[in-house]
Chains A and B, each alone.
Chain A
Amino acid sequence: MSTVSFDVHDKEFVAIVGPSGCGKSTILNMIGSLVAPSGGEILVDGERVGPRAGKQVGYVFQKDTVFPWRTVAQNIALGLQYRGVATAEVRSRVTEAVALAGLEGFEDAFPATLSGGMRQRVALMRSLVVNPEILLMDEPFGALDTHTKLNLHAELLGIWGARQQTVVFVTHDLSEAITLADRIVVMTRRPGRVKLVYDVKLPRPRDVIRLRETAEYLREYGEIWHALGEEFQERVS
């Protein structure tokens, strides 16, 4: 990755798209203190990101990181327990989160019995239940089928609309980026640079299914696709 610079505003949903290997995930890992930048700096609220992630940052991985030895409810409770929240409050907030994610009836199920989509839902709620100010998501729905993905898009938009967190969402799926984000950072192929930052003007609240049939969606998709396409072409030639 070479010089990359962009801003994320408070309570904004920003998506990063780009060809694979361009360093999308690395950017996220640097914001989350998993990787130290080799140069330059990352500022959160004007302060430099240290070697350990701040408690206000949540992270949802592409990989299944639900703890297999804990039930759904126990997984969602993790963050609250780590923070020493009282048991009664943990219980009520977990119940709320389980309902929000549509996981009622599965509270005591172990992850091994759940589908990939349900497990990712648990991972998402586990990160959201502690109300992080910044939520980093690294292709969280990458491994899911289209149907499950669309459902989770709708849920994520609903939750985000209610809580208004700052989200940085890495994906290689352009339609996913347009459906969810306020702004899209398009990266070039390796060595990754910011090719353009695109403002998505689609009105909210968005209907994840209908949206894709609208002319605005198709126009925006076309514009970004054109920019991304140049990157793919250069690779081919």
Chain B
Amino acid sequence: MKDGRWSVWAWRLGILAVILGAWEYLTGIKVISKTPGLYWIDPFFISRPSVIAQRFLYLTSDKVRLTIWQMALSTIQSTLWGFLVGITTGFAAGLVLGRSDRIARIFDPFIVAFNSLPRIALVPLITMIFGFGLLAKIVLAWSIVFFIVFFNTFQGARSVDADLIHSARFLGAGDGQIMRTVIVPSTLAWTFASLTPSISFALIGVVVGEFIGGESGGGLGYLIIQSLGTLNSADMMVALFVLGAIGIVMALGIRQIETRLLRWRPEYQKR
């Protein structure tokens, strides 16, 4: 078991080293040696690991107005807020509509219409209403996360085993107790399945918001757009790597919570 884990990590690091090495090497070959410009693979477009590392260090230093850490913090903050508000509202709405056929029927066309709207198209409007700051980004992330969580929770709430509800009733449960001890725990398993995609979509929403939001919104999306303006692919790469790292950490965090809360499920029973 332990050997297996070591070899997996060795492979991962090996592959990463090969990719970075090839990247660094290939972007260094010139068509005519020692002449500036004219590369086989031009680092102007995809930069080079060594340059990216330098830019990263520069962006963490106090020589810049806005360090990469501040930008990452802004992105993380908006993502987490959009995610949290999105899952709570999405869960509540999914639960209510999933348990009431009537309300579900009434709201159905509105939900389908709003959900089929590409959320990116809302960015200018959201920016107009909520300004260029943190709030607009949170609203954008929320508008995506809400629906993902909502639809999963809705399905989950509809597929609660009727016999479990009956048996709770025979054990003396009232409506509130059935909600708390049967419907919510049973639905949560479905809701959790939507959390991993939700966090990545929240991140997408936030970054898109930052593309438009300008400097006052800060964030890594701002760094990317600013680098586009200055044709600086190294800075873009720095932003992308940091975004990737944020994505990994958040996904791991969710997996932790999931394993803990869903430890009753057979797939989490293996120790």
Contact = CB atoms under 8 A, between A and B. Distances in A.
Given A61-B163, A112-B266, A79 B171 contact: yes
Contacts of B170: 32, 53, 57-59, 127
Interface residues of A, number: 28
A59 B269 contact: no
Contacts, number: 63
A56 B61 CA distance: 73
Interface in A69-112: 69-71, 78-79, 82-83, 110-112
Interface string A3-44: 000000000000000000000000000001010000000000
Contacts of B173: 78, 82
A130 B168 CA distance: 12
Interface stretch (B18-26, B66-74, B180-188, B211-219): B180-188
A61 B186 contact: no
Interface residues of B, number: 23
A161 interface: no
A147 interface: no
B119 interface: no
B263 A78 contact: no
B85 to A, nearest CB: 26
B167 interface: yes
Q: Which 10 A-B pairs have the closest CB atoms?
A: A79-B171, A59-B170, A82-B172, A65-B167, A112-B266, A110-B264, A69-B185, A69-B264, A82-B173, A83-B172
Given A65-B161, A112-B264, 10 more contacts: A53-B170, A58-B171, A59-B166, A59-B167, A68-B265, A69-B185, A69-B186, A78-B173, A82-B173, A113-B269
